[in-house]
Structure 1
Amino acid sequence: MGTHEAVTARDAVLTRDGNAARAHAVGEVLLGLALFALYLLVAMLPEAPRARLARAHGETLYELERALHLDVELALNEWLADQSVLRVLANYEYAITYVASALALLVWLFVRHPDRYRTARTAFVLLNVIALACFALYPVMPPRLMPDLGFVDTVRLGGTWGSWGSPLVEHADRFAALPSLHMAWTLWVGVELARVKAHRSVQAINTVHIVVTGYVIMATANHFLVDALAAVPLVAVSVYAAERFARPSPERVRAPDAFFLAVETERAPQHTGGVIMLDTSREPLHRADLIRLVAERMDRLPRFRQRPHGAGRWRRPVWRDHPAVDWDWHVAEHHVTGMDGLREVIARVQAEPFPRDRPLWRMLLVRGAEPGRTAVVFLMHHVVADGIGVVAQAVALMEPPQDPPPAGPRRGRVRTALAAAAGTAVGLGQLALDVAPPARLPAAGTPERRFGTLHVPLDVVRDVSRRHGVRVTDVVLCAVAGGLHRAARPGADGRGTCRVAVPLMMRAPGGAMEGNHTSAVMVDLPIGAMPETARLADIARRCKVLRSGTRALAAWFVMRQVGRLMPVPLHARFARAAYSERFLQGIVSSLPGPGGPLRLAGAPLTAVYPVVPLAPGAPLAVAALGVSRELCFGVSLDPGLADDADALTAAIGAVIDELRTAAPLTGAPAPETEPAPEPAPDGRPDPAA
């Protein structure tokens, strides 16, 4: 059920190519150029009024130094002016060494100490930005431009080429004296060398450089002593602030994840997961085995030990480590009689919101559902992850380890970004026009649930899709629509259509398991009386919106970007309005399953039935997952829609069986002999392709 545009958007936003280091270096160069451009903007400020202010400020500083008996600059400048060789050397030292030492340190940190580089660079940027603000707000004329006070411009006296104040840099900011960036840069180099514990000889050389620089900036009449002293607090503040920025702060719950905290109500809990069926005919599985397994893998699954904490009216919660795991609650054991008993347990757990004073996951070990089988009901709150994320976290507990899916084809970044932007713009327009209220299915509006399971051979579903020239997702949606017509309460199909949300995964291959990376596209399913072949053809036509990609991109943009910018109260109101019976009547999801045979705590996996929560007020949630050559359906119902979930799952199976034997409609697309795997938006094959 994938789309080319959805994959394009995913690549543009979520993936990183193999040239990450090169791209990082280019970004750092661009940051340096931006900083230099900011300096040029300050230098381009009107000179006449700045000159008057700079002269007044310079005289004020000089008078302050004379009052404090700190005015050593004139004596140093008079002596150096008479030393022809030292004067030239001092001019070149002033022009070159502070730049060379700072750039050399940045490159060295980037290559040899990348863990320290970002913090050091941030401090460097901060001290320059603060200094530029000082230059703009408090210009100071350097002593060399005030010859009436007795100072000699050593650069012009010696005609030093390329040095500060020479014709080559004539357009530099002449009033950027306080604070001294020469002194600030050399002090910053010394701080960073000390922090990475550079060799003592290197630090000794830099100490000499600091002393020499302090002498040169005053002897060449480029700075007052006060300018040099002002560099000390400048460096201290910048380094301190950079260190504060670099400290790991608690991870805040992202907008797409907070969406599901906002929509949850007592009547509509929002935990998702699956029923994992295990073959325990040879060796039993014990609750202690699950506890030991989770404890061993918890370092790989941070949400197993974290919970949302500190939510406020105007701020989203952060993920905080929980001090202890309540194993009695997180891993419980039940005994049932048959699959009906298992389904009753799941329906009961679905109706109970998770308490938020602990990590938001549960495992129920259920015995007695089938001979030689043990069920593990694995549930996580939707704030933790979407359907694919929950599957990935469950697989992370299993053996053998699963390799991440291969990345899709690489595309040009500019072309990809432009295509994604254009698709998003078109999709936003489509969403704005697509506001017709759907007909509503009957719902009791209580927390009570019904849960049903069904498994169909994958080969059967593939055969149906090939013979009728449609996608596997179209077959799943047709089976649900036809099942509603056959099994919903009398009169439910008289509404003609049922609007369902079809989730499209925007997660990058190998991306993080946590978080929601889902874009939902609405599809109106025909649920009235009609031949199933005609229903399938109609749904295939309607499902073109899934493959155009524009609506998926627009919905993802709203969930990820617009939601992030919304104030928290407004975002919560938006979530509750958008994810309700006013806009959808159900959720139908087709999830890619794990590849190859898997074991959980040593027990072979035989089937997985997805568990999807109902949207508030919506009475239907269906998901299909491909596992072990079977397409496993999990069906969650509001009892107002149907008395028995088993009746709906049986009807879904009957529709698929009817399509398997029915002749394709005349004029339907020619069936393919062996269709290529249908790409899903998360880069994985369609579960039944």
Structure 2
Amino acid sequence: MRGTMGTQEAVTARDAVFTPDAQGPSLRVRRELLVGLLLFALYALVTRLPEGGRTATARAHGEAIFNLEKALHLDVELGLNGWLANQSVLRVLANYEYAITYIASALALLVWLFIRHPERYRTARNAFILLNLGGLATFALYPVMPPRLMPDLGFIDTVMQGRTWGSWGSPLVEHADKFAAVPSLHMGWTLWVGVELARVNAKRWVQVLNAVHVLVTLYVILATANHYILDAVIAVPYVFAAVFVAERIARPAPVRAEGPDAFFLAVETPEAPQQAGGVIMLDTSRKDVGRDDLVRVIGERLGGLPRFRQRLVRRGRWRRPVWRDNRRVDWDWHVTERRVDGMPGLRAAVAELQSQALPLDRPPWRMVALKGAEPGRTAVVYLMHHVVADGVGIVAQAVYLMDPPPEPFTGRVPRRPFRKALATVIGLGQLAVDVAPPDRLPAAGTSERRFSTMHLPLATVRDVGRRYGARVTDVVLCAVAGALNRVVSEEDGRPGTCRVAVPLMMRPPGSAMVGNHTTAVMVDLPIGKMSETDRLALISKRSRVLRSGTRAQAAWTVMWQAGRLMPAPLHARFARMAYSGRFLQGTVSSLPGPDKTLRLAGAPLTAVYPIVPIAPGTAFAIAGLGVDRELCFGLSLDPGLADDADVLMDAVRDVIEELRDGPE
């Protein structure tokens, strides 16, 4: 959004989107096929071990297992094998089941995970590889002759008896390792399939079908005399160990909350919840959007939204909290739906949601579909804790859920270390003289909030700026200052000036959607009695500090380095002191938004009203978001400043219209 607040480094929400997997699908398929071929080659090496020296050992191991089963009264194989050998049709079906279904089910699961659950595929694939590596190592070190090769014990080779073409153990595949009985990989593969189906919460009928397959496989490997029952039992710890190790390998080191993120966690109080987001207005005149649609969309794109799947874990007073994966998403809490009575009801609902701090025992986000705000419209309130990301990052995560998908940033970020160092030094000197405490605005200091919205054509605000030789930033700041003059009287405690924080984006293009990359520069707004043209001229002069870049760079360096170098308790105290009514009385922000029509769950967006948290001890926070030629405002208000947020928002509009209609 050209002309709105920010520095040269401010980026659009589109550019801030992070692409989770940059590899092309064809490259990944070739890689997975190569892994499979390598595993098969390793198996081929085991099969080429000389049989002469292994036969006697394998027979001894087989007899030992069978004798142990008889001592434990588990030797059911002879009875099952003798019955099946006399069933001509079932015998052939069992032979083919032994040869085919365990391979088919494992390959089908891998392909399904690769396509439908890529976030789970790599861990499942690694578990499968580890399971097979464990089995191959055991085959080489502890060969076991299967029952079918010991007819003197009474077993019948159903494959050879039935001349089953192509089945395991037939002449067509006699290259296979004859002594690969312990563990039973037939049981191992089918049990592994069941574990992975449970991990991705597959449909119940699919899991039941696999459970039946496990039981059928158990019967077949015993009745065809390919395995002892202890072979199947021993497969269980192999599966458990493979899955356990794969999970540990896949689990990344805990991601620590960086200093700028922990900053917003430290300043949060029960009276000042720190959650940001927006009210997304959807045109649902042709296609309704409800809770189930939102759950479906988020579920489909959950893999690219890490903080939607993670919770923040505190590790004591002296250590930074870390992000850990949450085992499941509590959809009933995260995504809800309710009805409201018109736009007043919507604003009241948003104020209520904004006043409730997001609990940190789960991923810190919520989405609420509000029906009834306007005819043919559905409002979606999207909230995320400020510890996750700055305003641009939160916008980017919302855009990630929409269509068309954002284009990843492919440019190069310029490096200017000398310029940044010089700007930091100059900015630190400027900040050193900007330490006078501001005048106070009346505020109740409770978590209760008022919320209001407004949208104007972006062209209108730009035209006002051009008329007076000012920027859009200046026009918005003037409108806020003029509105405070009109709504808050001197008798109610209105001071002559109001210091506001203007957040500026320091996010490099193409950076990930998570993490805070903002700084803030303070501007003193004249809110006493004067003409709006004089007020705009004075603000235009004072707001030059926003465009120099030196204060912004210095403040960002202090914020980042303080989080890195200070012990956690000292950093928390620094954050609470710097971001409070001690140094500011309000927040005026502007966020770059999408410059094209987007759809959420198939419904086009008509407006997005930003929700910005109020800093502790301050009176208000207002933000504008550019959305497809519209400038959408969201106002969060402490009721101690004004009981009706609509009155203050209407005053903002009145000031802009007065400037628009003023002298040429």
Question: With structure 1 as the length reference, what TM-score do the two structures score?
Answer: 0.60
- Name the residue aligned to 1:656: 656
- Name the residue aligned to 2:28: none
Q: Could you say if the C-alpha distance between residues 287 and 7 of structure 1 is closer, same or farther in structure 2, counting changes exceeding 3 Å? A: closer
Q: Could you say if the C-alpha distance between residues 349 and 246 of structure 1 is closer, same or farther in structure 2, counting changes exceeding 3 Å? A: closer
How far is the alpha carbon of 1:405 from its aligned partner? 5.7
- Name the residue aligned to 1:503: 503
1:621 aligns to what SS in structure 2? strand
CA distance in 1, matches of 2:474, 2:648: 18
How far is the alpha carbon of 1:403 from its aligned partner? 1.8
Q: Could you say if the C-alpha distance between residues 407 and 532 of structure 1 is closer, same or farther in structure 2, counting changes exceeding 3 Å? A: farther
- Name the residue aligned to 1:358: 362
2:324 counterpart of 1:317: no
CA distance in 2, matches of 1:4, 1:270: 21
- Name the residue aligned to 2:231: none
Q: Tell whether the 8 Å contact from 1:7 to 1:506 is kept in structure 2 after alignment.
A: yes
2:517 counterpart of 1:517: yes
Identity %: 66
How far is the alpha carbon of 1:491 from its aligned partner? 3.5
2:487 counterpart of 1:483: no
How far is the alpha carbon of 1:533 from its aligned partner? 0.7
**321-330 or 513-522, which moves further after superposition?**
321-330
Cα-to-partner distance string for 1:159-206 (whole Å, 9 max, x where unaligned): xxxxxxxxxxxxxxxxxxxxxxxxxxxxxxxxxxxxxxxxxxxxxxxx
Q: Tell whether the 8 Å contact from 1:15 to 1:508 is kept in structure 2 after alignment.
A: no
- Name the residue aligned to 1:251: 255
- Name the residue aligned to 1:388: 392
Q: Tell whether the 8 Å contact from 1:278 to 1:603 is kept in structure 2 after alignment.
A: yes
CA distance in 1, matches of 2:490, 2:422: 45
CA distance in 2, matches of 1:8, 1:264: 26
- Name the residue aligned to 1:122: none
Q: How does 1:574-593 map to 2 (within 5 A)?
A: 574-593=574-593
CA distance in 2, matches of 1:366, 1:246: 39
Q: How does 1:276-287 map to 2 (within 5 A)?
A: 276-287=280-291
1:428 aligns to what SS in structure 2? helix
Q: Could you say if the C-alpha distance between residues 479 and 332 of structure 1 is closer, same or farther in structure 2, counting changes exceeding 3 Å? A: same
Q: Tell whether the 8 Å contact from 1:493 to 1:528 is kept in structure 2 after alignment.
A: no
Equivalent of 1:368, from 369, 372, 375?
372
Amino acid at match of 1:658: E
CA distance in 1, matches of 2:406, 2:501: 29
Amino acid at match of 1:442: P
Amino acid at match of 2:297: L
Q: Could you say if the C-alpha distance between residues 591 and 406 of structure 1 is closer, same or farther in structure 2, counting changes exceeding 3 Å? A: farther
CA distance in 2, matches of 1:327, 1:514: 21
Equivalent of 1:261, from 238, 261, 265?
265
Cα-to-partner distance string for 1:287-332 (whole Å, 9 max, x where unaligned): 1010011111110000000011133111011110011111111001
Q: Could you say if the C-alpha distance between residues 450 and 489 of structure 1 is closer, same or farther in structure 2, counting changes exceeding 3 Å? A: farther
Q: Tell whether the 8 Å contact from 1:493 to 1:527 is kept in structure 2 after alignment.
A: no
Q: Could you say if the C-alpha distance between residues 8 and 658 of structure 1 is closer, same or farther in structure 2, counting changes exceeding 3 Å? A: closer
Q: Could you say if the C-alpha distance between residues 340 and 363 of structure 1 is closer, same or farther in structure 2, counting changes exceeding 3 Å? A: same
Q: How does 1:591-630 map to 2 (within 5 A)?
A: 591-630=591-630
How far is the alpha carbon of 1:407 from its aligned partner? 4.5
Q: Tell whether the 8 Å contact from 2:581 to 2:615 is kept in structure 1 after alignment.
A: yes
How far is the alpha carbon of 1:562 from its aligned partner? 2.3
CA distance in 2, matches of 1:357, 1:459: 44
2:531 counterpart of 1:527: no
Q: How does 1:134-213 map to 2 (within 5 A)?
A: none
CA distance in 1, matches of 2:544, 2:304: 39
Cα-to-partner distance string for 1:316-350 (whole Å, 9 max, x where unaligned): 11110011111111001110111000000010111
Q: Could you say if the C-alpha distance between residues 615 and 629 of structure 1 is closer, same or farther in structure 2, counting changes exceeding 3 Å? A: same
1:328 aligns to what SS in structure 2? helix
CA distance in 2, matches of 1:421, 1:397: 38
Q: Tell whether the 8 Å contact from 1:275 to 1:378 is kept in structure 2 after alignment.
A: yes
Amino acid at match of 1:550: T
Amino acid at match of 1:537: A
CA distance in 1, matches of 2:392, 2:365: 15
Q: Could you say if the C-alpha distance between residues 325 and 245 of structure 1 is closer, same or farther in structure 2, counting changes exceeding 3 Å? A: closer
How far is the alpha carbon of 1:3 from its aligned partner? 9.4
CA distance in 2, matches of 1:342, 1:651: 20
Q: Tell whether the 8 Å contact from 1:452 to 1:635 is kept in structure 2 after alignment.
A: yes
Aligned residues: 430
Equivalent of 1:341, from 336, 341, 345?
345
Question: With structure 2 as the length reference, what TM-score do the two structures score?
Answer: 0.62
- Name the residue aligned to 1:88: none
CA distance in 2, matches of 1:264, 1:318: 17
Q: Tell whether the 8 Å contact from 1:2 to 1:546 is kept in structure 2 after alignment.
A: no
Cα-to-partner distance string for 1:112-155 (whole Å, 9 max, x where unaligned): xxxxxxxxxxxxxxxxxxxxxxxxxxxxxxxxxxxxxxxxxxxx
Q: Tell whether the 8 Å contact from 1:293 to 1:601 is kept in structure 2 after alignment.
A: yes
- Name the residue aligned to 1:647: 647
Q: Tell whether the 8 Å contact from 1:311 to 1:317 is kept in structure 2 after alignment.
A: yes
Cα-to-partner distance string for 1:572-614 (whole Å, 9 max, x where unaligned): 0000011110000000001111120000000000000000000
1:369 aligns to what SS in structure 2? coil
Q: Tell whether the 8 Å contact from 1:3 to 1:547 is kept in structure 2 after alignment.
A: no
How far is the alpha carbon of 1:628 from its aligned partner? 2.7
Instruction: Kindly report the root-mean-square deviation, in angstroms, between the aligned alpha carbons of the 2 structures.
Output: 2.4
- Name the residue aligned to 1:293: 297
Amino acid at match of 2:449: R
CA distance in 2, matches of 1:7, 1:262: 26
Amino acid at match of 1:352: Q
Q: Could you say if the C-alpha distance between residues 245 and 296 of structure 1 is closer, same or farther in structure 2, counting changes exceeding 3 Å? A: closer
How far is the alpha carbon of 1:550 from its aligned partner? 0.7
For structure 2, the residue ranges without an aligned partner over 5 or more in a row are 19-247
Q: Could you say if the C-alpha distance between residues 245 and 405 of structure 1 is closer, same or farther in structure 2, counting changes exceeding 3 Å? A: closer
CA distance in 2, matches of 1:506, 1:641: 31
2:336 counterpart of 1:332: yes
CA distance in 2, matches of 1:246, 1:369: 45
CA distance in 1, matches of 2:506, 2:354: 26
How far is the alpha carbon of 1:661 from its aligned partner? 1.1
Cα-to-partner distance string for 1:637-668 (whole Å, 9 max, x where unaligned): 0000001000011000000000101126xxxx
CA distance in 1, matches of 2:6, 2:269: 36
Q: Tell whether the 8 Å contact from 2:10 to 2:506 is kept in structure 1 after alignment.
A: no
CA distance in 2, matches of 1:631, 1:604: 17
CA distance in 1, matches of 2:406, 2:417: 31
2:467 aligns to what SS in structure 1? helix
How far is the alpha carbon of 1:626 from its aligned partner? 1.0
For structure 1, the residue ranges without an aligned partner over 5 or more in a row are 17-243, 665-689
1:370 aligns to what SS in structure 2? coil
How far is the alpha carbon of 1:510 from its aligned partner? 1.8
Q: Could you say if the C-alpha distance between residues 627 and 292 of structure 1 is closer, same or farther in structure 2, counting changes exceeding 3 Å? A: same
1:495 aligns to what SS in structure 2? coil
Amino acid at match of 2:482: G
Q: Tell whether the 8 Å contact from 2:278 to 2:609 is kept in structure 1 after alignment.
A: yes
Write out the 4+ residue segments of structure 1 that deviate beyond 6 Å after TM superposition.
1-5, 244-247
How far is the alpha carbon of 1:509 from its aligned partner? 1.4
CA distance in 2, matches of 1:607, 1:246: 40
Q: Tell whether the 8 Å contact from 2:423 to 2:549 is kept in structure 1 after alignment.
A: yes
Q: Could you say if the C-alpha distance between residues 532 and 5 of structure 1 is closer, same or farther in structure 2, counting changes exceeding 3 Å? A: closer
1:595 aligns to what SS in structure 2? coil
Q: How does 1:551-562 map to 2 (within 5 A)?
A: 551-562=551-562
CA distance in 1, matches of 2:250, 2:369: 43
How far is the alpha carbon of 1:424 from its aligned partner? 0.3
Amino acid at match of 2:429: G
Q: How does 1:57-72 map to 2 (within 5 A)?
A: none
2:554 counterpart of 1:565: no
CA distance in 1, matches of 2:314, 2:10: 36
1:462 aligns to what SS in structure 2? helix
CA distance in 2, matches of 1:645, 1:622: 11
Q: Tell whether the 8 Å contact from 1:275 to 1:377 is kept in structure 2 after alignment.
A: yes
Cα-to-partner distance string for 1:251-271 (whole Å, 9 max, x where unaligned): 100000000110001000000
Equivalent of 2:278, from 255, 274, 277?
274
Q: Tell whether the 8 Å contact from 2:17 to 2:400 is kept in structure 1 after alignment.
A: no
CA distance in 2, matches of 1:505, 1:359: 25
